[in-house]
Amino acid sequence: ALILLAMSNDVVSTGAKLASVDFEVFGRVQGVCFRMYTEDEGHKLGVTGWVKNTRQGTVIGQVQGPPDKVKEM
């Protein structure tokens, strides 16, 4: 089972509405290509951000982009 914690912020910049979500995923997420999958999905959706493993065995990251695409991510 995976558990996802997320915190969301909507940002208005130069007239375009953007969403930014910080996340941490718990469960079996290391050693199963989770980071690569996350990066590939982000590229497909046109969002930006970062993702990395932690020493605690979780994966943390941030996603930014149009609110509907961030929500889909």
Reading the block at residue 48, the tokens are 């930006």
Neighbouring C-beta atoms of residue 48, cutoff 10 Å = 14
Concerning whether 53 is annotated as a catalytic residue, the answer is: yes
Nearest alpha carbon to residue 21 among 41, 45, 49, 57: 49
Catalytic residue among 9, 28, 53, 55: 53
Residues designated catalytic: 35, 53
